[in-house]
Structure 1
Amino acid sequence: MSNPKEIKKRILSIDSVIKTTEAMKMISIVKLRKSKELLLHTKKYSESIEQLFQHFMFSWNEKLENIQDNKYFFSSGKNKLFIVITSNRGLCGAFNSLIFDKIHRHIQENGYLKNDCIFFSIGKKGFDFLSRKYNMYENKKKIPNNFTYEYKDVIILIKKLIKDFLSKKFNSIYLIYNKLKTSLFQQIIIEQFLPIIFHENESSKKSSNYSILEPSKEEILDYIIPKFLSVKLFKSLLESSTSEHTARMMSMHKATESASDIKKNLMLNYNKERQTSITKEILEIISGLEALSETN
């Protein structure tokens, strides 16, 4: 059995753990609300941009294969760039490890050669893991550590990615991130970013029959596609951020419950030890009184 003083020290340390996990849980809740609100607005804006993009594409009477300026929709080469969105901090359960497992399975299932896969991590945890196993995008630690969830940073990154894609440095670019389905379930999304996959929409097609485009279609395309890709990446960042805060909130909630259970067990042991020590002292006092009465 442990000493009551040692048990009391452990109880005090568990109390500090409970305070820490509860504080981190509350911080995650506040950040989650902000992230959800921003994601909601971004989704609405993203839908509008996507509808505008579809409207523009269907106003082009030629087939996509016959468009002279089709550089955003077709590519050549073998290198593939994977943009992996992870967290900068830990204590968020299996948020990051699920992404790493998904990457490993995706490469094996599609038969990609390791040298043909290049990774760019938005998030320190992803950079620390991927840099040990795979080829990284030319940006070292600067962008993963300093990259924020601000739209201006996304625009800078998109300009560089488009430039490298058009110069045929990459055959294709993919996004890998966590998307929140429910508060208890997250889905790992792998979607093609470039070249753009264009899905036909009958409503957009009907509404675009009499569109008049000014200036040229090529100029509009060069303007609208970076905007379209920037919003898409920004929405993915917010999806990942929302999932991260949810995962951390749940992890801290479970940690608080586990610490509370440990504290209850320690309190029971402390009371037992305290009761045992008190009983022992009483027995010693009684035996001492009996010894004195016998001597008298």
Structure 2
Amino acid sequence: MINQKEIKKRIQSMNSLIKTTDAMKMISVVKLRKCKTQKIHINMYFNEIKNILKNFIITKCQNYKLHFLKNKKYFLFDHNNKNKKTLFIIITSDRGLCGSFNYSIFNKINTIIDTKFYKENKEKCLFFSIGKKGIDFLLKKQYHLYHHTKLYSNNCNNHNILYLIQKLIKDFINNQIYAIYIIYNKIQKHIFYKTNYELFLPIIDSDILQINEKNLFSIKNDFILECSTKKFLNYLIPNFLKFKLLTRILDSYTSEHTSRMISMHKATENAYKIKEDLILNYNKERQTAITKEILEIISGIDTF
């Protein structure tokens, strides 16, 4: 039978655990609020860049599909992909205690790799992780890494992301990479998240590529460029890709903090339940000890 001292120690440990999980929950709430604010501003900027790119394609390229896409590799698959590699960018967390957030990403990777095409061409699959947990998973599974630059949440700034985008574009244009995909979690209905698997390069964006006759006549004002079209696209497309990746990273961070907040909330509730059970057991043990002492006193009086 557990004595009172051991139960008291467990109650104290539960109190410290409740303080820790509650503090982690509040930290996640603050970080979640910050991520949502950043996401609003970046989404506004990203939508503007997307509209500029779309309008530029419409106004500058009247014969859109025949002229523009055939001359711009950014928007087309290269069908001669026998010796080329596919890159997967996965966005995970740096720390644990966030429920099944990272597990869903890893499960998605395993599902993709187990498909017939990638199973036969496993050596042609490259992986790049934004987040420490993803790097640990890729090293453990011995998947081929893209390069040794590591991006964590503390160094995932505009400069490092732009450097990554420039390297991706360079390898993509030089035919070293056939296609680039992103695997990340996105929040759904405030508390639930979904693991998304989408194409990053070439740019197969429905808002940009779905252009019809109505779009062609919807914009009357043409662009007046001080620089050449090539120079303009060389500036616009890397920024478009940079902010697209930033939005996906912020979607992932929002899902991560939401998942951690819910996990810590449930952990706090479970700790309170365990504490209540321990207090109940402690009171029972104390009452049993008091009753035993009273019976010993009474039995001692009867002997005299």
Bin for the TM-score computed over the shorter chain? over 0.9
Once the two structures are TM-superposed, the CA of residue 279 in structure 1 deviates from its matched residue by: 0.3
Q: Does 2:284 align with 1:272?
A: yes
1:160-198 CA-partner distances (Å, limit 9, x unpaired): 111111111110001111100123310111111111114
Q: Does 2:138 align with 1:137?
A: no
Structure 2 match to 1:18: 18
Structure 2 match to 1:173: 180
For the 8 Å contact 1:55–1:207, the answer to whether it is kept is no
Q: Aligned residue pairs: how many?
A: 290
Once the two structures are TM-superposed, the CA of residue 206 in structure 1 deviates from its matched residue by: 2.8
Q: Does 2:201 align with 1:200?
A: no
Structure 1 length normalisation: TM-score? 0.92
Q: Does 2:76 align with 1:74?
A: yes
Letter in 2 for 1:136: L
Q: Mapping of 1:241-280 within 5 angstroms?
A: 241-280=253-292
1:195-242 CA-partner distances (Å, limit 9, x unpaired): 111422456533345524423322221111001001100111111111
Structure 2 length normalisation: TM-score? 0.90
Match of 2:302 among 276, 287, 290: 290
CA distance in 2, matches of 1:110, 1:54: 36
Q: Tell which deviates more after alignment, 199-208 or 254-263.
A: 199-208
Match of 1:122 among 119, 123, 130: 130
SS at match of 1:289: helix
CA distance in 2, matches of 1:172, 1:206: 33
CA distance in 1, matches of 2:250, 2:153: 17
SS at match of 1:2: coil
For the 8 Å contact 2:98–2:256, the answer to whether it is kept is yes
Structure 1: gaps (5+ residues):
none
CA distance in 1, matches of 2:295, 2:111: 67
Letter in 2 for 1:211: D
Cα–Cα, structure 1 residues 276 and 146, in superposed 2: closer, same or farther, change >3 Å? closer
Match of 1:223 among 208, 216, 235: 235
RMSD: 1.8
Once the two structures are TM-superposed, the CA of residue 104 in structure 1 deviates from its matched residue by: 1.4
CA distance in 2, matches of 1:124, 1:205: 46
Structure 1 match to 2:50: 50
Q: Tell which deviates more after alignment, 155-164 or 212-221.
A: 212-221
Structure 2 match to 1:102: 108
Structure 2: gaps (5+ residues):
none
Structure 1 residue ranges (4+ consecutive) displaced by more than 6 angstroms after TM superposition: none
